[in-house]
Amino acid sequence: MRITYFGVRGSCPCSSDQQRRYGGNTSCVLVEVAGEPPLILDMGTGLRALGHHLVADLVPTGRPMRGNCLLTHLHYDHILGTPFFPPMRDPGALLEIYGPSQADASLQVTMASMVKPPFFPVHMSDFRGELRYHDLKGNDGFQLGGISVKVRTIPHIGNTLGFRLEVDGAIVAYLPDHQAPVDRATVSPEVLELCEGADLMIHDAQYTEEEFVELFDWGHSTPAYAVHIATEAGVRRLDMFHHDPGHTDRQIDAMLRAARQVAQATGKVEVNAAKEGATFELRKR
């Protein structure tokens, strides 16, 4: 299983000389498994570059894209890349989108309402490719070819899903937005279920401890709380994710150092900060 980060920021995209190393695009991750269609995690602004990456491989074959996407929730930073996804310009392209069910309308109707005039110059239905939607509930589980997917509702603002992917014994837990409790100690059973024994946990680490005191109900976590979850769940590697758009590379470096110091107390969790463009192979331990 190969993981590539195309967007690692939260809340909104950002760009400055002080934010180059970690990147400024919002949540979007590519999971590649041999013999399977590409699997996309969230559709933030990183989806545009991810689409160009996929198109470059497809052009020589003359085939349209077939792919799957797991969508955690519908906040702008997780869907803003949708109308800019290059493969959707190609007739015959198909992206199967699995995302959280909505109270008032289907996932398809809700997404279509976000891409239309006057907010955007075209409608979602104007794409030449097809976006096919699947409404998920927080206790679902299903197969995408050889990829087992477990779905659970996790604490955040609005209906938000976390995902657990299992392929040939390798496990990825994806929780880009997760509201830490005020005590930053308790962990919901659903979160533990997703993360238990994971080889990689991609987890919200947006706020410093000082920021969390002020923004404790804004829906996010701290690096120390992410390490706490990883330790409780027996995770092998934690990648801090959903970096705040106001944080510079140096600030994220400092947050990473602090998280690694917390992790040293157990010596069991490898801690990294996700970087846009980083790619690596994940294998069964």
pLDDT tens digits, 218-237: 889 999 999 999 999 999 99
- Other C-beta atoms lying within 10 Å of the C-beta of residue 7: 32
What is the pLDDT, as a whole number, of residue 60? 85
**pLDDT: which is higher, 59 or 150:** 150
Which residue stretches of 131-237 are H helix?
189-195, 209-214, 223-233
Q: Where are the domains of the chain?
A: 2-281
**269 within 8 A of 263, measured Cβ to Cβ:** yes
pLDDT digits (tens, 9 = 90+) for 145-191: 999 999 999 999 989 999 999 999 999 999 999 999 989 899 999 99
DSSP secondary structure string for all residues of 81-135: TGGG-GGGGSTT-EEEEEEE--SSS-HHHHHHTTSSTTTSSS-GGG-SSEEEEEE
270's enclosing H/E stretch is strand 270-273
CA distance 125 to 140: 28
What does the alpha-carbon distance between residue 273 and residue 12 come to, in Å, rounded to a whole number? 18
pTM over 0.75: yes
Tell me the average pLDDT across 116-130. 91
Class of domain 2-281: alpha beta
Instruction: Quick: pLDDT tens for 67-107.
Output: 999 999 999 999 999 999 999 999 999 999 999 998 888 99
CA angle 174, 177, 183 (to 5 degrees): 110
Q: Evaluate if residue 284 carries a pLDDT over 80.
A: no
**Predicted local distance difference test score (pLDDT) of residue 76:** 94
